[in-house]
A and B are shown apart, each in its own frame.
Chain A
């Protein structure tokens, strides 16, 4: 039997709140430390304890990070999903199962069965926490079956339980029990195994939310106002966690305030208050929070108040699937609030970009005096991704057109808060407390001097200037990332965490003889390079993780008419992180349709 090395998917079915996440992360980290390209997807329920959880670990020497097409190794620990998971296993699947599970067994001839009395083994270590230890036992079994390096396993355990010696010892013992049971009782009949790989450049694992939180600190965030919501809470919690290290003086006094607000409306209000006062305020939330913040978003746009909002998106509408991933807030962020609005949206696709846009968001917001959104998603935000390290900001903080000194102020012939002095649509502002050009900021109509006005020309000119201001940001924002083929046949325009599936999609399509170019949009409003990319290609697919093709809608409206006809939408979402084959097949189907 030929070995299958570093190219298979493990699916671990457990129950939420049983400690399986620690065990799964140890498995993932030890493979990563071996240099095996690996990704982990946590499919968890909106629940604290008891509901089913699956963890998908994909090993791929090609570097594919999407969940694979099928499961090669299935771990069965959770009786609640046992029958379903077993029935879903394709012939030839390896099933590693807890043989101590009451009323459950594995009776299929077409699979490879490895029964392991996980509960009894765990009870040997400590009967009181047997359920917890069961999880680490299956990692030990996998380690033996797949030839996972023991040193890497032990360092992953040490990393997971930083400094907690008794937990480290207990877990290493449990791993050993799993390994030993496997050696003594099971005969390996499956082809799957792992091999260490040399890594060109060292990498570490980090979640997008932690990367964005660090980015916010390197952007000098001064106020975090937030209300807990999955999947964004860990961004706020990471900002808080790094304050003592990155933002405090020797007395422990901080330069970043944190307020847990009473709701998302208040969080948004606080962010605006901070921007109005001259500071850098932000919130981290998800779609339902953005829905609640709409009124303030309109105020920030209209009164031109810097403010940063991170949306770690999840599945909507309504409460939706709170713990699953989707890109369905694109339209809401771009045109948030009632009335004519248009907002800057930064869309990271990697953890490095989460960090970078974490600090850049403040620069853009203060420079353009407008709300700026970061749009991440659950997949990017809450799963761990490989990273070579974060790059320090290469430019000083851009605080925008703020008049701070009396001398500079007096150089203005006429000072009006909303006067377009430079012709770029960006006015100058003075800060509360400065005594210079005080105005009453308002969400009502106003003239260039900031005074209430209902005059038609004042309203029309104000709206035209705001439009010009945001249009002027297009080519200042992160340009799209292009990976182009010479042939320029099919171009795929996509965004965000689809980055992690796109290469596999591209490869599947190229296997059919098609030449595929990629254009990853990294900001809204659209950079002019997007239009150029579309112009160069024969057919363009806009690929996104939602139902309605929200990005496609924006392109259709903003592209010149002659380009619109060659742009086509492929939008699909079922809550799962994007599986390459599904999207590749949908693209093939769409291309077939449009060629007819």
Chain B
């Protein structure tokens, strides 16, 4: 036996190593922003000291919705159908309100096919964290525009997008969503803080995360990327070739400042962190910040709106204190006497 002390493994408040929070290997394109978000989720759950099996991982269909396989391997999850994750989560919540529901969705899932379910989950103030991994394209079907694509974006092949995008944060604020934030997949520090805060929030917490698609999000300047790869990879004529990139570099934009971020394809996006003067309890200020950013071709990030006063769905359902899951069968089924009484009344 060696006397050499074992290398200390960092533990959280539950004495759990971070390994207890990881998942399987990702099958997304190397460099995908979604994988960065997965690692932030792992960190946030670990740092928050949440028992991994008390988390329920929920998703719909799409690249983003595959990610629950890549984090929190000790949590049950449900990869449901396209755009319908909110309803499945709502049903599960009615049975077991004590789990932490962590939903991950994409812009196709949330801004198109499932926008109705997103809206109604917000309306019910369903108690969950809802992360949108927003890249403006349909990745799994190879690069069609989604409803969040900016006007003027141009695909690798095809036309310029002329249709107005839906801003999910503005939509959520208008609906009275109780926690609305925007972030960027490369802003691990900010995103981590937002996810941790959202996990502690009682009610619906929407985090819209800009998460560039390394393969299909190419706009005008993507030609450079295309060209770059073309020069370096003679196999590019293969239609299914997926270029390998390193993840976007980590960025930390101080409050009230902005910074241009260079994406894989050489294009840039301008991220602005909302200033500390911003009052997140004021929906008009939040909408105004979103509007100003749009006018100035920026993406404003941070906690935009927050309201801790609204009752969440659990309070509206009027249920017993314990989760319905824990109510014994003998209580769930009314007594023989109750049926005898009903039969007697009907016959009277």
Contacts and interface: CB of A to CB of B under 8 A. Distances in A.
Interface in B291-348: 317-321, 324-325, 327, 329, 331-334, 336, 338-340, 342-343, 346-347
A277 B73 CA distance: 17
Interface string B67-106: 0110001111111110010111111111110110000000
Nearest to A391: B339
A247 B332 CA distance: 7
B333 A219 contact: yes
B79 A440 contact: yes
Contacts of A245: 338
Given A254-B318, A262-B117, A396-B329, A432 B96 contact: yes
A349 B332 CA distance: 27
B201 interface: no
B21 to A, nearest CB: 12
A223 B324 CA distance: 9
Nearest to A225: B91
A274 B80 contact: no
Nearest to A251: B320
B76 A265 contact: no
Given A217-B334, A220-B332, A253-B320, A266 B79 contact: no
Interface stretch (B50-58, B148-156, B219-227, B264-272): B50-58
Contacts of A252: 318
A441 interface: yes
B87 A269 contact: yes
A318 B91 CA distance: 28
Interface in A427-465: 430-435, 438-444, 452
B49 interface: no
Given A220-B332, A435-B53, A442-B79, A274 B320 contact: no
Nearest to B345: A204
A491 B340 CA distance: 38
Contacts of B84: 265-266, 269, 295-296
23 contacts: A218-B334, A223-B94, A254-B319, A255-B327, A257-B94, A257-B95, A259-B91, A269-B84, A269-B91, A269-B117, A270-B87, A272-B88, A272-B91, A276-B88, A277-B96, A278-B325, A295-B84, A299-B80, A435-B74, A440-B57, A441-B76, A441-B79, A442-B78
A292 to B, nearest CB: 11
Contact of A433 (B99, B120, B319): B99
Interface of A: 202-204, 206, 214, 217-220, 222-223, 225, 245-247, 249, 252-259, 261-263, 265-281, 295-296, 299, 359, 387, 389-390, 392-393, 396-397, 399, 430-435, 438-444, 452
A279 B74 contact: no
A278 B95 contact: yes
A330 B92 CA distance: 29
Given A257-B324, A438-B74, 5 more contacts: A246-B334, A247-B334, A272-B91, A273-B87, A392-B339
A444 B87 CA distance: 19
A433 B325 CA distance: 10
A192 B269 CA distance: 87
Contacts of A269: 80-81, 84, 86-88, 90-91, 117
B116 interface: yes
Contact of A273 (B69, B77, B91, B340): B91
Contacts of A249: 320
B69 A206 contact: no
Contact of B94 (A265, A279, A399, A432): A279
B319 A257 contact: yes
Contacts of B93: 273, 277
B329 A399 contact: yes
Category for how many chain B residues contact A: 35 or more
Given A249-B320, A269-B84, A255 B332 contact: yes
Contacts of B318: 252-254
Contacts of B56: 277, 432-433
Nearest to B73: A438
Contacts of B331: 255
A246 B92 contact: no
Contacts of A273: 78, 87-95
Nearest to A269: B87
A47 B319 CA distance: 36
B218 to A, nearest CB: 28
Contacts of B321: 253
A225 B90 CA distance: 10
Contacts of A389: 343, 346-347
Question: Which of A267, A271, A396, A443 is most buried by chain B, counting CB atoms within 10 A of its CB?
Answer: A443
Contacts of B320: 249, 253-255
A418 B99 CA distance: 24
Contacts of B91: 223, 225, 259, 269-277, 281
Contact of A202 (B99, B340, B347): B347
Contacts of B87: 225, 261, 265-270, 273
A254 B95 CA distance: 12
Given A265-B87, A266-B84, A223 B346 contact: no
B77 A441 contact: yes
Contacts of A222: 94-95, 324, 327, 332
Contacts of A387: 346
Given A206-B346, A253-B318, A270-B91, A432 B76 contact: yes
Contacts of A256: 324
A269 B60 CA distance: 11
A200 to B, nearest CB: 14
B90 A444 contact: no
Contacts of B329: 220, 396-397, 399
Interface in B258-288: none
Contact of A262 (B79, B120, B336, B339): B120
Nearest to B78: A441
A440 B68 contact: yes
A265 B81 CA distance: 11
User: 6 closest A-B pairs (Cβ-Cβ)?
Assistant: A273-B91, A269-B87, A220-B332, A279-B95, A270-B91, A435-B53
A387 B346 CA distance: 9
A279 B318 CA distance: 17
Contacts of B57: 440
A195 to B, nearest CB: 22
Contacts of A270: 87-88, 90-91, 94
Contacts of B53: 433-435, 438
B116 to A, nearest CB: 6
Contacts of B78: 273, 276, 440-442
A245 B341 CA distance: 11
A223 B325 CA distance: 11
B76 to A, nearest CB: 4
A432 B79 CA distance: 13
B79 A443 contact: yes
B333 A393 contact: yes
Contacts of B319: 253-255, 257
A522 B319 CA distance: 35
Contacts of A203: 347
Nearest to A222: B324
A204 B334 contact: no
Contacts of B79: 440-444
A390 B89 contact: no
B179 to A, nearest CB: 21
B81 A299 contact: yes
Interface in B2-54: 51, 53-54
